[in-house]
Chains A and B, each alone.
Chain A
Amino acid sequence: MSSTRATYDDIVVACPTTVPYVRYSIHGAHWFLAGALAELLHSAGLSKDRLDGLCVSSFTLAPDTAVGLTQHLGLTLRWLDHIPMGGACGIVALRRAARAVQSGDADAVACVAGDTNHTHSFRLNLATFSQFARDAVYPYGSGGANASFAFLTAYYMRTYGVTREDFGKICVAQRANALQFPHALMKKPLTLDAYLNARVIADPLRLFDCVMPCAGADAFLVLRRGAAETLGLPYARILATIERHNAFPDDPIQYRGGWALDRDELYAQAGVGPGDIDVLATYDDYPVISLMQIEDLGFCQKGDGADFIRRASLTADGSFPLNTSGGQLSAGQAGAAGGFLGLVEIVRQVTGRSLGAKVPGARLGLASGFGMINYDRGLCSGAAILAAGS
């Protein structure tokens, strides 16, 4: 056990923002990030001169970083961060921003994540994603993340008796949620039959196991509770957060993530248990990873995930509401914004401001992040428990 983590006192999250996703765009990443920031400031009632902190995540901003964005968007800031952690960037941005505001280094930090998607940008990003990926993964079939997650999915099915139907249940429920979320790219219902019989991408993965890369951006604002109240903003309180990088490096294949190391501290800091959580947002680039998070975050034992979801109903109005905006599987994966999507949705649900399907009476939400297939596995994991404001 490491030293006790300080609580987040009265640091809150507000202004969940989404720039509607599109499959392809001729615009640059700056266009989407600017759109998210403008929308966020508008909803906060802040002029951009009042913003003194910014945290950026993007895969397609190169050659710029967050620094270039300050001049591009005419921002003068006293706190700036750039978080290249993919699917964990939302949780990590929240952690960094919250401590910055808590310490007084900044009054209000806008956290934005987004990417463009040109017809070639996904392939180019895959080819040079990391040194290990370029040297030791991409030359092997060039399947991208599909190949890596096919290995994990096949292993999970073989080891824990998970079936295609189990994964299908997750995907079908998320599609039902997505149909109510106005920004979701997927607009057609998905049946289990269609899921099971979709074309094979990389055995055992089929089409609807894989996210659709797209362009878009998400954002949220971290500030003091008093400031949020002055501005009249609905907000969520931060009860606890964790992050971990390169957990369990000796596992021969990734069947668990950093959450398994850190969840006890997460729940202890929040003073709640898994059973108290009203709504869960997992990082869901593939359904196997959602299942892994359900287990590693303590909703059930390792290996019992399939049984758990067989007993649960996963839609927003169900017994275990999961990825209530449709998740990346049905809303789309807008690059780094995929690391924000779940967190932004949890803020909406616990503040009663859902844009789509509502989880009745949701007061406590858990958002989880997972990112960066540097070689054979995702290295970054994180989670945050948020509570209704008042």
Chain B
Amino acid sequence: MTRPLVRPARKNPILRTRLPTLPPGLRSRVALGLTAAAARGRFELQVCRDCATVQYPPREACCACLSRRLDWRIVDDGGELVSETTLRHSHELFFRERMPWRLGLVKLDCGPLAVAHLHGDCAPPPSRVRVRLHLDRAGQAALVALPDKDTLHMADDRQLREMTCDPKFRKVLVTDAKTPLGQALVEAVVAAGADLVWAGHAEPWKKPPGFERLASLAEVSLVPLDLTNSRAVTVLAGEIGGRVDILINTADYHRNFGIAARDGVETARAEMDINYFGLLRLAQEFAPAMRARGADGQSSAVAWVNVLSIFALSNFPPHGTYSASKAAALSLAQCLRAELAPSGVRVINVFPGPIDDDWNQTLPPPKIAPARLAADIIAALRSGAEDVYPGDIAQDWLERWRDNPKALERELAALPHQ
């Protein structure tokens, strides 16, 4: 059984912080289909459209009938562990620094044979396992074999923790803790076992309901943070930047309307100032220190979460300028992901549908509750995914967008403007 993690000792300041190394990240283009599935937390393999044979490793043609029509589909994740080994020697630094490393050979129920990272709680072969797709520290898909049934403290498994961003015993900055989502997240992160939560707040004179109670939690520390103020961001990064393990950017400026219903650019500029430039300011000040701490022991810097919007994928004209600011933020987040990749720090982009808050008051349900969104973000941190679409609306729009982005554009344009 996995031994539960213990709170890490205070870092010895005379020891050098180990530089991040990564597992091998080179993949063929066809194998990136696996990464695309892992990014969404799905277990997909290629399935032959003509003979239904499931394929692995990823390939260009069916090994049963030579058809080249292979589709990525969700498949059965059960399997039998056929053999196992524990590596004590590796050719790559990443694993060399993390020996021993347990591997399994799994005969999947859906057909193929898979080499997989093997969770410590899996029984010796022959035994039943479940296989998941996780992004590893290189940001590429990796198969992880888990015990057939959940075990106590299984998230604390040393190898699994190298592929997740679990908040347990980590230090977390929530950039705007005053919004309903911000408050729900601070609470959820504390409940998930975070060591310390820095709760950012921009306007000290505003006291929204519930915030006082939150501020009184032992793990929570209020920090002034106004993302429109470059100087303020710099000052805070100087104070806590070198200790932030997980940064969750909840800061959001949301106003309704598109182009014709409003004069001037001031509202759009304010949206951009928080949603786009705010992210840029944060990234410039906080990313360098996180990049340096990607391998800083059990509680290394590990994730940067952007709360975007499903409107980032395709413009929602009733909230047209807001959609544009979120699309800009998405594009910048991709850049940030690329720049953080060498450190193994994962950028998780969250694309919720309309949140059940004041600025979406006039939108019809379903709307996602802040507490539910917060729970989904914690789940994403504990999983191996990097793109998260919480709530029914987000899932519905995503499906439409993946199926036919032009059709979704027309569908959104046809909605009544309000």
The listed residue (B26, B57, B83, B113) touching A128 by CB distance below 8 A is: B26
Cross-chain pair count, CB within 8 angstroms: 117
A85 at the A/B interface (Cβ < 8 Å)? Answer: no
A residues within 8 Å of B by Cβ? 122-123, 126-128, 131-132, 134-144, 146-147, 150-152, 154-155, 158, 199-205, 249, 252-253, 375-376
Q: Are B86 and A135 in contact (CB under 8 A)?
A: no
Q: How far, in whole Å, are A131 and B117 apart by their CA atoms in the complex?
A: 19
Q: Are B85 and A150 in contact (CB under 8 A)?
A: yes
Which interface residue of A141, A150, A155, A252 has the most chain B CB atoms within 10 A?
A141
Q: How far, in whole Å, are A126 and B89 apart by their CA atoms in the complex?
A: 14
Q: Are A199 and B88 in contact (CB under 8 A)?
A: yes
B residues within 8 Å of A by Cβ? 23-28, 31, 34, 56-58, 63, 82-92, 94-95, 101, 103, 105, 107, 113-117, 125, 136, 138, 140, 142-143
Chain B nearest Cβ from A202, distance in angstroms: 5
Besides A135-B27, A142-B24, A143-B95, 19 other A-B contacts (C-beta < 8 A): A126-B91, A127-B24, A131-B28, A136-B114, A140-B116, A141-B90, A142-B94, A143-B89, A147-B85, A147-B115, A150-B83, A150-B85, A152-B83, A199-B88, A201-B87, A202-B85, A202-B86, A375-B57, A376-B115
Chain B nearest Cβ from A176, distance in angstroms: 26
Q: List 5 A-B contacts (CB under 8 A).
A: A127-B24, A140-B142, A146-B87, A147-B85, A253-B83
Chain A nearest Cβ from B169, distance in angstroms: 25
Q: How far, in whole Å, are A203 and B125 apart by their CA atoms in the complex?
A: 13
A146 proximity list for chain B (CB < 8 A): 87, 89
The listed residue (A128, A138, A140, A201) touching B88 by CB distance below 8 A is: A201
Q: Is the interface of A mostly helix, strand, loop or mixed?
A: mixed
Chain B nearest Cβ from A167, distance in angstroms: 15
Which single residue of chain B is at the shortest CB-CB distance from A122? Answer: B91
Q: Are B88 and A202 in contact (CB under 8 A)?
A: yes
Which single residue of chain A is at the shortest CB-CB distance from B96? Answer: A142
The listed residue (B34, B82, B88) touching A252 by CB distance below 8 A is: B82
B94 proximity list for chain A (CB < 8 A): 142
Q: Are A141 and B31 in contact (CB under 8 A)?
A: no
B114 proximity list for chain A (CB < 8 A): 136
Chain B nearest Cβ from A255, distance in angstroms: 10
The listed residue (A142, A151, A376) touching B91 by CB distance below 8 A is: A142
Chain B nearest Cβ from A299, distance in angstroms: 25
Q: How far, in whole Å, are A201 and B115 apart by their CA atoms in the complex?
A: 18
Q: Are A136 and B57 in contact (CB under 8 A)?
A: yes
Q: How far, in whole Å, are A152 and B85 apart by their CA atoms in the complex?
A: 10
A154 proximity list for chain B (CB < 8 A): 83-85, 125
Chain A nearest Cβ from B39, distance in angstroms: 16
Q: Are B83 and A135 in contact (CB under 8 A)?
A: no
B82 proximity list for chain A (CB < 8 A): 151, 155, 252-253
Q: How far, in whole Å, are A348 and B246 apart by their CA atoms in the complex?
A: 66
Q: How far, in whole Å, are A66 and B92 apart by their CA atoms in the complex?
A: 31
Which single residue of chain A is at the shortest CB-CB distance from B111? Answer: A250
Q: How far, in whole Å, are A146 and B88 apart by their CA atoms in the complex?
A: 10
Given contacts A134-B27, A151-B105, contact A143 B84 (CB under 8 A): no
B88 proximity list for chain A (CB < 8 A): 199-203
Q: Are B83 and A143 in contact (CB under 8 A)?
A: no
Counting from the closest, the 6 A-B pairs by CB-CB distance are A150-B85, A136-B57, A142-B92, A135-B31, A151-B83, A123-B91
Given contacts A139-B142, A141-B101, contact A202 B24 (CB under 8 A): no
Given contacts A123-B91, A202-B87, contact A140 B105 (CB under 8 A): no
Q: Are B28 and A158 in contact (CB under 8 A)?
A: no
Chain A nearest Cβ from B105, distance in angstroms: 5
B136 proximity list for chain A (CB < 8 A): 139
Given contacts A135-B58, A136-B31, A142-B95, contact A376 B23 (CB under 8 A): no
Q: How far, in whole Å, are A137 and B101 apart by their CA atoms in the complex?
A: 14
Q: How far, in whole Å, are A123 and B91 apart by their CA atoms in the complex?
A: 6
The listed residue (A134, A158, A201) touching B26 by CB distance below 8 A is: A134
The listed residue (A141, A199, A203) touching B95 by CB distance below 8 A is: A141
Which single residue of chain A is at the shortest CB-CB distance from B27? Answer: A135
B103 proximity list for chain A (CB < 8 A): 140-141, 143, 147, 151
Chain A nearest Cβ from B109, distance in angstroms: 12
Chain B nearest Cβ from A335, distance in angstroms: 16
B113 proximity list for chain A (CB < 8 A): 252-253, 376
Q: Are B95 and A127 in contact (CB under 8 A)?
A: no
Chain A nearest Cβ from B143, distance in angstroms: 8
Given contacts A136-B56, A154-B85, A202-B86, contact A253 B105 (CB under 8 A): yes
A249 proximity list for chain B (CB < 8 A): 63
Which single residue of chain A is at the shortest CB-CB distance from B105? Answer: A151
Q: How far, in whole Å, are A277 and B168 apart by their CA atoms in the complex?
A: 64
Q: Are A376 and B105 in contact (CB under 8 A)?
A: yes
Q: How far, in whole Å, are A155 and B89 apart by their CA atoms in the complex?
A: 20
Given contacts A136-B114, A203-B85, A252-B107, contact A144 B26 (CB under 8 A): no
Q: How far, in whole Å, are A154 and B124 apart by their CA atoms in the complex?
A: 11
Q: Are B57 and A139 in contact (CB under 8 A)?
A: no
Chain A nearest Cβ from B35, distance in angstroms: 10
Q: How far, in whole Å, are A181 and B376 apart by their CA atoms in the complex?
A: 66
Which interface residue of B91, B105, B117 has the most chain A CB atoms within 10 A?
B91
Q: How far, in whole Å, are A128 and B114 apart by their CA atoms in the complex?
A: 18
A126 proximity list for chain B (CB < 8 A): 91
Q: How far, in whole Å, are A147 and B24 apart by their CA atoms in the complex?
A: 16
A138 proximity list for chain B (CB < 8 A): 24
Q: How far, in whole Å, are A132 and B30 apart by their CA atoms in the complex?
A: 11
The listed residue (B26, B58, B83, B87) touching A141 by CB distance below 8 A is: B87
Q: How far, in whole Å, are A154 and B117 apart by their CA atoms in the complex?
A: 17
The listed residue (A122, A158, A201) touching B125 by CB distance below 8 A is: A158
Q: How far, in whole Å, are A127 and B138 apart by their CA atoms in the complex?
A: 15
Which single residue of chain B is at the shortest CB-CB distance from A151? Answer: B83
Which single residue of chain B is at the shortest CB-CB distance from A375? Answer: B57
Q: How far, in whole Å, are A252 and B104 apart by their CA atoms in the complex?
A: 13
Chain B nearest Cβ from A61, distance in angstroms: 21
Chain A nearest Cβ from B126, distance in angstroms: 9
Q: How far, in whole Å, are A136 and B142 apart by their CA atoms in the complex?
A: 8
Which single residue of chain B is at the shortest CB-CB distance from A137? Answer: B115
Q: How far, in whole Å, are A202 and B95 apart by their CA atoms in the complex?
A: 13
Which single residue of chain B is at the shortest CB-CB distance from A144? Answer: B91
Chain B nearest Cβ from A258, distance in angstroms: 18
A253 proximity list for chain B (CB < 8 A): 82-83, 105, 113
Q: Are B89 and A139 in contact (CB under 8 A)?
A: no
